[in-house]
Structures are given as structure tokens and as C-alpha cells.
Amino acid sequence: MLDLKALHENTRMDHQSHPFQLFQNRCFAKKTEECILYLHWHEHFEWIIMREGRAVFHIDSRPYEAEAGEVIIIPGGALHVGYALEEGEVHYDSVVVNRALFQDFASDPVHEQYVAPYLEGSVRFPVKPAEENADCTSYFSLLNEAVEEMALQAPAYQLVVKSKLHALFTLLARTFMPHPLRDRSSGVYFPNRERFKQLIAQIEANPQERLSVSEAASQVGLNVYHFCKMFKKLTGRTFVEYVNRCRMSEAERLLQESGLTVTEIAAQVGCDNANYFTKLFKQYKGMTPSQARAGVSTGTPI
């Protein structure tokens, strides 16, 4: 069975009664356009706080650049992926929040009016709130305080985090609810999102599969032109580039974890010609298959 990350991420929640989680992502020696966040989606809200470096996050086909100090909101169900914008370190914190965190407020009519619509997805916050309204910058101290509580885990930190996150949601809702962005309240940013999710999951689970662009376009119900345009918007890569990257990542795993020959591995990932495979591997991984087998490090993520 292939050891590839599933497109749908079952995000770990350590406390079922307080469903939130902090992930402190530290990416070292990254190259420009190198992936720092693999393509996936989950039902939870996600806050990304940039700590160092510059990156671009593609969220439901739209690119959003972010640098140190900026905050990005990823709504539940949105496909998202991230790439470094420059060489060096890219550090960011991710706070993942399930709407069940605020279930105690379910009977509160003010919560139902202001916060619940955002949690349910009927209305969406701007991905970069501070660009829409500069006042939001002052709200982010609540998010940073919640991150500090989650990192230190002092007694009853869960209650402190919950109160700060609810205050943050409420302040943002108060800012944007009077003038909701109508084009962002529909729940999807591009057509056939669920079919795209299924297609990309298929590509990642079966890198050896020979799937033409026209066949992939047919699976999501689009013509080739619109499919290629939407796929590039969604992932930041062309269809062929994305398939090749998945194949070379699986090849790198097999080189490091199996005793298969280069020719056998090439066939396993859908390349009949070993010479072409070697050329492709070096193009995407920055080293030859033999170097990868020997454990030579180039800083490229698997």
C-alpha cells in the first residue's frame, strides 16, 4: 500500500471537549516555489500566522501572499496548499479550530446572529482580514495570546484559549457582518470543487496511473482548457507538473525504503523509460536517483 498523505486530512484534536490544535511549522533551507504545506482540506477552520519568511497559499484556487506578521484565515472545507516565495526559512503557526469548540454558545441569540454563520460557512471572513479592514490587526493579539497558551499549556489553558478565540471570532464578525462580502458567502470559490478533491486524491494514491489531461478534465466535468486553468489556480502547478511531483515523491520514498532497482521503481511510478525517469527525478528533486538512495540531502521535501 502506498504511504502517501491523504488529500482529506483527519486533523488531530487532542481534547475532544476543547477541539483546537496548534501546529508550529518550521521549514528550513527552502527553495523558491518549494512546497511548505501539502495540498489538503479538512472540515475545520484554520488560522495561519506567518512568523518568518514569505509564502503564497492557494486557497480554493486563489493565491494569497503572506509575510511575517500577517494572518490568513482558511475556511472549513477549502482546498489549500502553500509554497515558499524565496529561499531560506519559512516559519508559520497553524491554529485549527472545530466549530464544536463554541457549542456552549449554541443557545445564545447573539452568537447565533454573529458567529454561527461564519462557523457554518454560510458567510466567510476575508482570507486576509487586515487587508479589508486595518482594525483587524489589533484583534490578532488575541490569536497570538491563544497560541502562547496552547504552547505553554498552563493549568486550564483550554478555557483561556476558548475565550480568546471566541472573542476573536466575535470581533471579526462585528467588523464584517454589517457588510458581508457577497461574492465570498456562497460556500465555494470555484465549480466542481468536490470532483477536484476526488481527482487529486486519486493522483496521490495512484502515482503510477496513466491519466491524460483530457481524461482528468472529463472526470471533473470540464473541457481541457477550463480544466487546465482551474487546476493551475487550485494547486499552483499545471496538471502534468503536479502528477510528476507526486510520482517523484513516491519514487524518492521507494529509493529510500525499498530494495527495488531504479528501473523497477520507474515502472512503479508510471515511467517506462529509466533514462527519462532519471532526468525527471533530477529535475524535481535536484539529485539523481542514486544520490537519493545514498541519502544525499538537498532540502527538498518528500
pLDDT score for 89? 94
Residues 29 and 299: beta-carbon distance below 8 Å: yes
Query: Could you tell me the pLDDT band of residue 189, with boundaries at 50, 70 and 90?
Result: very low
- Per-residue pLDDT at 46 exceeds 90: yes
Q: Does residue 195 belong to any structural domain of this protein?
A: no
Q: Read off the CATH number of the domain in which 161 is found.
A: 2.60.120.280
The reply to whether 14 falls in a domain is no
pLDDT digits (tens, 9 = 90+) for 214-251: 999 988 888 888 888 888 877 778 899 889 988 998 99
Shared domain check, 219 and 173 = no
| Residues 216 and 164 both lie in one domain | no
Q: CA angle at residue 155 from 111 to 104, to 5 degrees?
A: 20
Average pLDDT over residues 41-64: 92
In a domain, 193, yes or no: no
Do residue 161 and residue 46 come from a single domain?
Answer: yes
Mean pLDDT for the chain overall: 84
> Which CATH number does the domain housing residue 264 bear?
1.10.10.60
Number of domains composing the chain: 2
At 207 the pLDDT is 84
Q: Mark whether 131 and 27 lie in a shared domain.
A: yes
Amino acid letter for position 151: A
More confident residue, 186 or 223: 223
> Has residue 4 got a pLDDT over 60?
no
Same domain? 26 vs 156: yes
Q: How remote is the C-alpha of 57 from its chain's centroid?
A: 7
In this prediction, residue 152 carries a pLDDT of: 95
The answer as to whether 196 is a domain residue is no
Same domain, 152 and 230: no
Report if residue 6 sits inside a domain: no
* 137, 169, 184 - which closes a domain: 184
Burial label for 253, CB within 10 Å (0-12, 13-18, 19+), is: middle
pTM score: 0.65
What is the pLDDT at residue 127? Answer: 95
What was the pLDDT predicted at 9?
62
Shared-domain flag, residues 110 and 69: yes
Same domain, 139 and 88: yes
Q: Are residues 99 and 52 in the same domain?
A: yes
**125 and 260 in one domain?**
no
> Which amino acid is located at 181 in the chain?
L
Checking if the pLDDT of 57 tops 90, the result is yes
Domain limits for position 73: 20-184
Of 149, 169, 184, which residue constitutes the final position of a domain? 184
Q: What is the pLDDT of residues 7-42, one digit of tens each?
A: 556 666 666 668 899 999 999 989 898 999 988 888
The answer to whether position 268 is within a domain reads yes
Any domain includes 45: yes
Q: What is the pLDDT of residues 128-180, one digit of tens each?
A: 999 999 999 999 999 999 999 999 999 999 999 999 999 999 999 999 885 54
pLDDT above 80 for 1: no
Could you read off the pLDDT of 257-291 as tens digits, one per residue? 988 999 999 999 999 888 999 999 988 888 899 88
Residue 202 covered by a domain: no
The reported pLDDT for the residue numbered 190 is 54
Whether residue 104 is found in the same domain as residue 49: yes
35 and 93 both lie in a single domain: yes
